[in-house]
Each structure stands twice: as C-alpha cells, then as structure tokens.
Structure 1
Amino acid sequence: MRLVVCLLLFFIPTLNYGFKKNVMPYSIVISKAVLIVDGTISKVSKDEYQFKIDEFVKGKSNPKINVTIWKEWICDPRIKELKTGQRLILFLEKSPNGNYYPINYSTGELYVDNNAFIDIFLPKDFSNPEALKQGIRMFLEIYKCFGDLNNRFYANIYFVRNKSIFEIYEMKMTNSSFGYLVDNADYFKVIEFLQFQFFKNYSVNSNTANSAG
C-alpha cells in the first residue's frame, strides 16, 4: 500500500502537465460578464455561496446574490477555502436557474485579503483591487467587443474603441490594469469607432444597391 501511495505522489506532478486549463483573456472575460462586483461571502452551502455586493463595477442586480461553487480540478484548484467574510471580486455570468457563476472558474473569482490579491498567477499589472476596478471601468467606457464570445477559439472576435491610439497611450500611463487590458485586446482585431461606422454604412449601402439592382 505504501508503495502505491509513493508511486501516486511521484506521478501526479507529471500527470499535471497532461492537462491544461483553457486560459480566457481578461478582455474577453470582462466583455462576457453580466456582473463584475466587489463584496464578501455571507453564507456558504454545499453547491453555492451567498454573496453580499458592496460595489458594482459592471451591471446591476440585487445586493445579495447566489453564486454557484465551481468544481476544482488538477489544473484549476481554488486559491483557498470559501468562508464567510472572504472578500472577492467576481466576473459573473447568469445561469437559467437565476444563480450566477464565475467565468472560466478561477479566472472569474479573485480572492482579496488586506486589500491585495493573493493569487500569485494573476497578471502583475493587477496591482490592487482599486486600480483593477478603475482599469475595468476605463476599458468598458472605451472598448466594445463584437463576435461570438462563446467560441473557445475566439474566432471572428474584434473590438471597437472610441478613442484614438494616441489618447489610449496617454491613458495607459495612468493605470497599469487598463494598460494590460488594452494590450490584451490588441491580440484581437481592434478598430476605431469612425472606421467601424464607415464599414457598417458601406455594407448597408452595398446591400441596398444590390437589392435595388
């Protein structure tokens, strides 16, 4: 029996490399979220926890919501045990039964202790909760995502921004979290709003002309 346990302890770290979590970019997470909130756990049960919202970053809901507890696995363990009083910043979608659930599991459930994030794997530009929340608000004011956000390969996704690249550059200097999200979005196609309107109007006019012809 002892030999079996030893062998398991030896092979489990090796097996970990055979599994990899699908990492979802935070620019997509923020765009998908119906709620982004800051608050504390008020009650924990078997399959869900009750969450008291202190601040809405995106969206609106009741001040107390139920959040489904996602199941841990090898490549996505929970940072620490869920307990009453634990502060979290949550990026949430809503299920048909009315409960909310964190997007991409641990990606959408950020633990906060002493006004600091405790997940060492978070982007270094997520320096503290206040800076992150401000960066998210800045991002949401300027960028809008289009395309199928449920496509795991993010095919045909693009962002439209309503400020110039020069304005964006200056804003990035004021908030590193915003800067990270901008760079994150740049992995996808990004166009300015005026360009977007031009292509949209061109497409409508072309379709009208073709119909008339």
Structure 2
Amino acid sequence: MIYITGDTHGDFTRFSAKRLRRTGMELTKEDYIIICGDFGLCWAKDKTFEYHCKNFAEKPYTILWVQGNHENYDMIGEYPLEEWHGGKARHIIRDKVILLERGQVFEIDGKTFFTFGGASSHDIQGGILDRQTVDFAEQKRRADRNYLPYRILQESWWPQELPTEGELQEGLRNLERYHYEVDYVITHCCASTLQDRINAGTG
C-alpha cells in the first residue's frame, strides 16, 4: 500500500506506531509513505539527525519524499544519485528513506509516479541574507525590527529550491517515454494559477 502525506518540517510524530494504529494503519515492509516536500530530515548532521535516522531505519515501511523549498540542498547533494524503480533517487537511509529526484517517473506497486519537488519560498519578505556581505548585521536588524521573515543563504535557504532548465527538460523527456500518462504526480506545490483556481473553488 502507498500512503501520501504533506510537509513534516522535522516533526515525525505522525509516523509513530501508536499514532498510526489509532488511524487503523498497520504498516509492513511492503508499504510506502510518500512525503510531498519539506520533510525536514536533512537539515543538519547533528545528534537529532542521527536519532531520526536510527528511528527510521527500524521502521518496517519505506519513506519516499520529494524536495520542498525548506530543505538543506547542500546536505541532500552529498548523497549520490542512484537508479531506483526506474528513476533517479538518493538513498538517505538505505532502503528506508529515499529521495525521489525531480523529473523522474517511478514504477511502484504497479503504479507510475512522476516526481517534481521544489517550490519558491514565500517566507522571505525580509530578504535572503548573506553572512558574507558587509551589511549582513544591519539587514538582519532591519528585518527583525520590522518583524519580517527572512532566510540566510546556505543556512536556511538554497537557490536549488527552484528547478533548473536541465531538470525541466529531463522531466519532459521522461514523461514522453510514458506518452505523458502517469497515474500520479508527486510535487510540493502546484502552479500559482492552479492554486488560485482551487482557492476560488473552480479547480
């Protein structure tokens, strides 16, 4: 069975055995949970990361995920690309936590999944600050003073949150192989025009 959920942002309580049982879910090694971005596992290589890796390694099921906009893309990039179920993936925890790369088509449980993670950050009204600039401290003070959310380059924001032209073209090539027909599209955020239609009740 394949289950799909949204952002976790490093809060993995929804995956506890007790919580899953309460919802009538008894997951086995044959099951997958797909997280549609902002997983929050790959943020810093610290004791918290090690704890969660150990915890996920002991789960019977497999976690799959696509990138969101709140990801440490430098850390993700340290894991090599591998072929998995027909597409490119990165094994964060071998056979237990697997990142599904952008523009890929995966065949899982007899279904096809087109994956395209990433999104444009919305919480940057105070700017994307760079510690290497001479006025970093002043920019940070100004944002704090005006209660404006900001992100810091290579610490809490990465330009890789948006796809490259190469990733877009690879996605089109892979979709063409399937005649532009897949069972599911897994992404973090849909187009703004589609969001507007959904919010207006016309999507």
| TM-score computed with the length of structure 1 as normaliser | 0.25
The structure richer in strand per residue is: 1
Structure of higher RCO (CA pairs closer than 8 Å, 6+ residues apart): 2
